[in-house]
Chains A and B, each alone.
Chain A
Amino acid sequence: MRKTSSLYALFLGLFCFVSAPASSYQPVQNLGESEVRPEASVFKLSSIQTISIDANVWAGKNLSVVDVLSAYGGIQGHKQGGVGSFQSVSIRGAAPRGLKIFIDGVPIEDAGGGSVNLGSIDLSLIERIDVYKGYVPAFLGGNGIGGAIHFITRKKVNAGGQIAMSYGSHGFQEIAFSLSLPIAKSWRLASALAYRHADNDYEFLNRNGTEYNTEDDFAAKRKNAQYTQISGNHSFYKTHESGALSTIVLRHEKELGGNPGKESNQTEVAGFNRDLGQLFYSYEPASFWDMNLALSVSGQIEKSVSHSFYPLDKIGYPNNYFMEYGAIRYFLQPKISLELAPDSSRPWAISLYAAGSAERLEARDNNEWVSAYDWHLSRLSAEGAGNVKWFLGSILAVEIESAVKGFQDKNSGGAWYSPIRNDSIKAKTNAHLFSSARLAFYVGKANSRLNGVASLGRYYREPQLMEQYGVYRNMMPNPDLKEETGWMGELGGSLKSHSEKSKLQISYFQTHQKNGVVWVTNSSLTKPFNLSRGLTRGVEISLESVPTSFFKTRLEATFQKALDRSGELLYSEKELPEEPSKTYYAEATFNLPYHIEWGVRAEYRSRLFKDRANLQRIPPQQLYHSFLSWAPLIHTKLTLSIQNLTDADYQSIYSAFPLPGRSYSLSFTQQIGFNKSHENK
């Protein structure tokens, strides 16, 4: 309680501080920002519903994607460990599985049908993250319960590069290299490569699975949690004589690591291995009739395999066999997008999107015991999305967005082996058609001090192939799953100060989810059902300010009530799992003499529950972080970062994945070759 009060005081103090008279603004030192984007404004928030986060936020600070995203209103982060561990976010009470994740416009999906593991995205390769809260723009398909997160990789336009190295506690090490240079007439290469590794051997309190016996508690080190990843993006740009631009991107990832298990059940050899290769081509002709057209095709192969050995790991079926199981996914997606911007004679804008996709999933088991099921699953889809925005006068705009997607699923059928019997799945072909729509009203010009938005959308999440037909160990498919649906509404406004150095945003939101997939689990089996129904109401408040040349701050608060509305006796009106009722975030950065920058971050999360019955209680948590960076030379930067200063962590004994306590990292960043726009002022 005392800590909570001090956090309130910090909020209050910072609010008072940012209301002080502002001196003239000067951009802070900016290393590593791409030249692709236009000069960033003081505010990174480009609209009320969209957050645009630059690499400066995480560069050199050893932050994960979830660390970065959960520092914004309405976004709750979920982590199961250290670097590379499974991580996800929920937005405005909508479960993580409904969110759409993209890297450079290409959808990223979990081959297992669950939510995408954000822990596998190396921020060293990312230049910007755009978060669409509560909606998905048409050019990304126009559908997703909770919204979308779009990662944009580094794409330097001019010649130059950057090398970054980090070293930190728990065996963390990272090196990332990016380069951009012309390689022939009208051809240019932008390439980035990153390697990161962590032993994740942090200490934690192992309660030995005995809640009522503290005598057997002991300080343990996380075992078998090591993580290694090598990833890269390599882009070739060709400027055609017509002014058109062709882009070829090769993206690759390899990651491997241990699957460390829970607090009282640490594993010895269980682990995973994932490989991903993606090729992307796009053609963007020169603008004609004020239209921007883009044609693209992307192909992706992803193989993800896990392994375990029960006698050592005590996970999975009790047997003496080495088990290796997983899937390979092939994905092909051609798409076309068209945008027509408004001008003085045409008070409307239109954005159209059409795509098709072919997806195939196959088992990649290599068990000593018989594999669960030699399945082949495929999905063909065609989708279209459109967005029309009318400007009614100078301050009011109406936006209508709609998307429709048709699926044809096919499963090969065949014998599979469950824990209790051998069975067969009938070969079958199914077809589905789903649609989404959104209506929004905007008040205020794009650059005016006062803006408002009212938005209501209905979205869906189609049943995933693995949920319907796939079989991993302990997992039973459910071919009868229906689509999940979600209504997302928002009423919000933003206000800038006269000097435009401070900006306040307030949004009220509501999220209704229906037919949510719940994996009903006992110790031997898990199976998905459409059981969940939830209602989340809340308010997000954000204040961002740069009152002086040496100080900037950002304050975020979320107040929400996320309730189960399933009607089930045990769960109805209980709080939705992993959704705290209050979160606060405060960040202050000081630009000190001698090119020294010091930042502090404080975050607070109120009590939450891990389970639907609200019996696994996680108490309130305050976390504090800090960093200190120094630029001894104009293009060189050293950053010391400390995460979780107070070494805080609490896990429910029945669902305990220990998290790292206090951790340190030191990073070195060197820019190579510059143009004027990147030089320090």
Chain B
Amino acid sequence: MKTNKWNILLSISVALLFTACGSDSPSTPGTKEEKSAFGLVFTSDFTNGELRFFDLDSNTISKEKLTFNQDAKIVVQGSQVFILERYGADNLVKIDPSKWNEGPSAILYQTALGEGANPSDIIALNENTAWLGLEGSPELLKINTASKGKVLKTVDLSAYTAEGNISPNLVKLALKGDTLFALLQRLDMYQVTSPGLVVLIDANAGTILDTIRLKTGNPSTFTLVNGDLWVSTQGGYNADYGLDADSERGIERVDIKNKKSVLEVSGEELGGGVSFMVVDIEAKVLYASVMSPIGTYSLQQVSLDDNSVKAVDGIDDSSGSLFWDAESALLFIGDRSYGAERLLVYNGTSVKTIKGDNVLPPSNISIVYF
């Protein structure tokens, strides 16, 4: 009973905190010619936060670590590594991946963004410029990533904020050509009262171009696949603090050209709402961490060809986020099973554990090539 309740709380917490943490492949420029690479896993027990590093060959987590505020998010853009310290810290951190094992000297800068900013995503336009999304503010920032995050431009998204709320809850950014896509939850005091919204913005000028209304509410992440945006949504919570298996949530495909969204895979088919989603574009497969009506997490595999859904066996709890590494064609899974938290890697057929000592539960994962 205790474990069940614990799982429920964890599920809620994870869902709340990491709605923007779906780690899809970076869509920004970034050469992968040099093959120096390592994995990054952010670990957190809701009190502490540690960034750890793991070796992709030996599947081991290093002893080296950097402490940050709990539940921070890793965003890798090409060879740039950012840590977004979220609510309660509200900092932008940039890390030099070549110094990952040199302790704090790996930190290029740590810049305070202002209390309550709650950074949710960053997407680089080039080596010096990026858009920084804030979940706790109606402002979308264009920053200079080479000068400690100096703000270059501000886009006001307050028009999409639910009445009485502070922000429209920007949880994810994506870039296609010169168009920046911002995914807004538009929650009303954390409750789902209207469908999610995709805002299209001129990535250079920062002007709002258009909006696309989703079919369902509380979106968690999106990713670009062959010109379309695939969006995962969670919807509202039920009495057991789970996500019902119904058509109020699922996976939508947004036809950017026609500005229409279609619920391709419903929560009924998935078995609940989607908290994390990544896509293997080559194999045309989508992986979704699905929260069930009773608050447990499963990993579902969805075919982009026929939308068929298949559960991935051997995963007890996928609430510690997902990361798809196109380079190695491996799926990394954060398993936050209470008392047996671990980092997993799935190669399409079998699951292995990436081992480490005294590692907090994984909450966010990424890989950097530099």
Tell me the A residues contacting B by CB distance below 8 Å. Answer: 208-213, 216, 264-265, 310-311, 314, 317-321, 369, 417, 419-423, 476, 478, 480, 520-525, 527, 529-531, 568-570, 611-613, 615-616, 654
Q: Which residue of A lies closest to B108 (CB)?
A: A212
Q: Bound complex: CA of A421 vs CA of B361, how far in Å?
A: 26
Report B225 CB to chain A, min CB distance, Å: 29
Report A521 CB to chain B, min CB distance, Å: 6
Tally of contacts, chain A with chain B, CB under 8 A: 139
Q: Which residue of A lies closest to B135 (CB)?
A: A318
By a CB distance below 8 angstroms, the chain A residues around B5 are 478, 480, 529
Tell me the B residues contacting A by CB distance below 8 Å. Answer: 1-2, 5-6, 9, 12-13, 15-17, 45-48, 50, 67-71, 85-91, 93, 104, 107, 109-112, 115-116, 136, 164-167, 189-191, 236-239, 241, 339-341, 358, 360-361
By a CB distance below 8 angstroms, the chain B residues around A211 are 67-68, 110
Residue contact A420 to B110, C-beta cutoff 8 Å: no
- A210-B111 contact given A420-B241, A480-B5, A524-B190, CB 8 Å threshold: yes
- A570-B47 contact given A210-B110, A420-B191, A530-B2, CB 8 Å threshold: no
Select B110's contact among A213, A318, A525, A654, beta carbons within 8 Å. Answer: A213
By a CB distance below 8 angstroms, the chain A residues around B70 are 522-523, 654
Select A420's contact among B12, B90, B340, beta carbons within 8 Å. Answer: B12
Residue contact A523 to B88, C-beta cutoff 8 Å: yes
Residue contact A522 to B115, C-beta cutoff 8 Å: no
By a CB distance below 8 angstroms, the chain A residues around B109 are 213
Select A421's contact among B45, B46, B238, beta carbons within 8 Å. Answer: B238
Q: Bound complex: CA of A476 vs CA of B13, how far in Å?
A: 12
Q: Bound complex: CA of A213 vs CA of B9, how far in Å?
A: 34
By a CB distance below 8 angstroms, the chain A residues around B190 are 317, 419-420, 524
Residue contact B189 to A319, C-beta cutoff 8 Å: yes
By a CB distance below 8 angstroms, the chain A residues around B136 are 318
By a CB distance below 8 angstroms, the chain A residues around B236 are 420-421
Select B17's contact among A319, A523, A529, A569, beta carbons within 8 Å. Answer: A523
Residue contact B71 to A522, C-beta cutoff 8 Å: yes
Residue contact B237 to A569, C-beta cutoff 8 Å: no
Residue contact B191 to A522, C-beta cutoff 8 Å: no
Report A422 CB to chain B, min CB distance, Å: 7
Residue contact B112 to A209, C-beta cutoff 8 Å: yes
By a CB distance below 8 angstroms, the chain A residues around B6 are 520, 529, 531
Residue contact A522 to B46, C-beta cutoff 8 Å: yes
> Which 3 pairs from chain A and chain B are nearest by CB?
A419-B190, A318-B166, A314-B115
Can you identify 20 A-B contacts, CB atoms within 8 angstroms?
A: A209-B112, A210-B110, A211-B68, A310-B116, A318-B166, A319-B166, A320-B166, A421-B237, A421-B239, A423-B239, A521-B46, A523-B71, A525-B16, A529-B6, A570-B360, A613-B45, A613-B360, A615-B47, A654-B70, A654-B89
Report A416 CB to chain B, min CB distance, Å: 12
By a CB distance below 8 angstroms, the chain A residues around B112 are 208-210, 213, 216, 264
By a CB distance below 8 angstroms, the chain B residues around A265 are 88, 115
Report B288 CB to chain A, min CB distance, Å: 20
By a CB distance below 8 angstroms, the chain B residues around A314 are 115-116
Q: Bound complex: CA of A520 vs CA of B358, how far in Å?
A: 20
Q: Bound complex: CA of A423 vs CA of B240, how far in Å?
A: 10
Point out which of B47, B164, B191, B238 has the most chain A C-beta atoms below 10 A from its C-beta.
B47
Report B133 CB to chain A, min CB distance, Å: 15
Report B258 CB to chain A, min CB distance, Å: 33
Q: Which residue of A lies closest to B163 (CB)?
A: A320
By a CB distance below 8 angstroms, the chain B residues around A208 are 112
Residue contact A612 to B47, C-beta cutoff 8 Å: yes
By a CB distance below 8 angstroms, the chain A residues around B47 are 521, 611-613, 615-616, 654
Report A669 CB to chain B, min CB distance, Å: 44
Q: Bound complex: CA of A612 vs CA of B191, how far in Å?
A: 32
Residue contact B17 to A522, C-beta cutoff 8 Å: yes
Q: Bound complex: CA of A524 vs CA of B90, how far in Å?
A: 15
Residue contact B110 to A569, C-beta cutoff 8 Å: no
Q: Which residue of A lies closest to B188 (CB)?
A: A319
By a CB distance below 8 angstroms, the chain B residues around A317 are 189-190
Q: Which residue of B lies closest to A527 (CB)?
A: B9
Point out which of B90, B109, B110 has the most chain A C-beta atoms below 10 A from its C-beta.
B110
Q: Bound complex: CA of A525 vs CA of B8, how far in Å?
A: 12
Residue contact A210 to B17, C-beta cutoff 8 Å: no
Q: Bound complex: CA of A121 vs CA of B70, how far in Å?
A: 34
- A213-B167 contact given A522-B13, A568-B339, A615-B67, CB 8 Å threshold: no
By a CB distance below 8 angstroms, the chain B residues around A522 are 13, 16-17, 46, 70-71
Q: Which residue of B lies closest to A577 (CB)?
A: B47
